[in-house]
Structure 1
Amino acid sequence: MSFKHLPLLGTAEIIGALNLNPQQTSAAAAFAHQLARTAWRRRAPHRSGQGYDEFAAGVPDCAWLTLFEFGALKALGRHHEALLLAAASRSAHRRGRTADG
């Protein structure tokens, strides 16, 4: 799987921290890109002219790393931890939007 949009330093840190093998690393990267593509397909109508690469380039590094770590935890069979990470990420995102608004 491509690491084109994944921030390499942060990705490497997650790989090392979770001790991922090449297959798990590939699965995590594929999962991150799959979720990003799903978000791209579901984007707002006013952004419908935007291609995937343009959309992916606009995804913040922290979001890419969260997607990658979620996929890595799932590849390791640590589904509960992956769900906790997703819940914490959603909560932080909602708080961030509320504070900005």
Structure 2
Amino acid sequence: MSFKHLPLLGTAELIGALKLNPKQTAAAANLAHRVTHNAWRRRPSHKGGQTYDEFAATVSDCAWLTMFEVGALLALGRRQEALLLTEASRSVHQVTHPGPPR
């Protein structure tokens, strides 16, 4: 588990608010890093020279915390809330989701 890019204060607040145990905390942090790593691998060609750490440093604190919270909710078995948070985040940031229409 790495907290290297996660904003520590916000992450600590989520851990406390959701009462995460160490295993759940690790799962949430790992999910945030996996999502970011996938985005880095799919980055546009004009960002092709960036290392993962350089790319991760450009991800906003809000995005890191949202990914961490989604991971935490999944670790707690609260899948529906995680899906709602993901959809709300996409709506706010107007991210298009490739895939079949819902």
Q: How does 1:43-54 map to 2 (within 5 A)?
A: 43-54=43-54
| 1:62 counterpart = 2:46 | no
Q: Which residue of 1 aligns with 2:40?
A: 40
What's the TM-score once normalised by structure 1's chain length? Answer: 0.92
Distance 2:28 2:94 in 1: 25
| 1:17 counterpart = 2:14 | no
What's the TM-score once normalised by structure 2's chain length? Answer: 0.91
Name the Cα RMSD after superposition.
1.0
Aligned AA for 2:2?
A: S
User: Which string of whole-angstrom CA distances, capped at 9 and with x for unpartnered residues, describes residues 72-93 of structure 1?
Assistant: 0000010000000000000000
User: Which string of whole-angstrom CA distances, capped at 9 and with x for unpartnered residues, describes residues 12-37 of structure 1?
Assistant: 01001100000000000000000000
SS in structure 2 of the partner of residue 84 of structure 1: helix
Aligned AA for 1:31?
A: L
Q: Which residue of 2 aligns with 1:71?
A: 71
Distance 1:39 1:94 in 2: 16
SS in structure 1 of the partner of residue 94 of structure 2: helix
Distance 1:2 1:87 in 2: 25
Q: How far did residue 94 of structure 1 move?
A: 1.3
Aligned AA for 1:79?
A: R
SS in structure 1 of the partner of residue 43 of structure 2: coil
Could you tell me the percent identity over the aligned residues? 71
In the alignment, structure 1 segments of 5+ residues that lack a partner are 96-101
